[in-house]
Amino acid sequence: MAEIDSQIIKDLFPDLGQSEALIREIAEVSQMAQFSRGEVIMDYGDYIEFVPMLISGLMKIIREGEDGQEILLYFLGSGESCAASFSCCMIRKRSEIKAVCEEDATILMIPLQSADEWMEKYSAWRDFIFGMYDARLFALIDTIDRVSFANLDEKLLYYLDEMQRQKDQNVFHISHSDIAHDLNASRESISRLLKKLEIQGKVKLGRNEIALLET
């Protein structure tokens, strides 16, 4: 585990910086952990013992339906945390989501007991948690709209746009199969749509590499 620098917490989570006492406690009780691309941070049925706060990297949050098929709910980038995991922590229930590293990640792990205590002790922490829920609620509404109403090509463009926003770059090292899994589609359909987007000048395709072009 790496030593925690309070300034990193302030820089990535500025709302928490309103309370120096809170920042000190986060640095004292939390642990910094490194995870590799493809590693599962939490899985279905797990009891969650910590609140993950992403320092660097990219993580995707996935939900499994009754038919056993998985769907991508949202991405988490640096300076963000997972509302779904926090909810499971607070009411002591098993996880209904899976969190997977889309790329190598550094995660600040907040102990459950501390996260619970801070809800009453620090207004900055409480505001941070409520703000996180608010942001994820609208992200989930967007997901429902895409699943219910959007065509696959619209879902694919949204997926690529979100990857660009979270990574702050326009080149992604990802396979067509991985995208198909996230979007609950066939690899052939994704490959066909990516080729269509390339012809339209919206993307440039390489071997397990996609560049999102400005249009």
Structure tokens at 135: 């942001």
Cite the residue boundaries of each domain of the chain with CATH code 1.10.10.10.
151-212
Q: What is the mean pLDDT of residues 56-75?
A: 83
Residue 25's pLDDT is what?
93
The pLDDT of residue 123 is: 93
CATH of 6-148, one of 3.40.1280.10, 3.40.47.10, 2.60.120.10, 3.40.190.10: 2.60.120.10
Top pLDDT among 15 and 92 is at 15
> What is residue 40's predicted lDDT score, i.e. its pLDDT?
93
Alpha-carbon distance values, 82 to 78, 97, 124 (Å): 11, 10, 17
* pTM, rounded to two decimals: 0.64
> 113 is written with which tokens?
């007991």
Q: Once rounded to an integer, what is the mean pLDDT over residues 54-62?
A: 90
CATH number of 151-212: 1.10.10.10
- Per-residue pLDDT reduced to its tens digit, 123-180: 999 898 888 877 777 666 666 656 554 578 888 888 898 888 888 888 888 889 988 8
Q: According to CATH, where is 2.60.120.10 located in the chain?
A: 6-148
Q: In terms of residues, how long is the chain? A: 215
In the chain, at which residue ranges do the beta strands (DSSP E only) sit?
31-35, 40-42, 50-64, 70-76, 97-111, 171-172, 203-206, 209-212
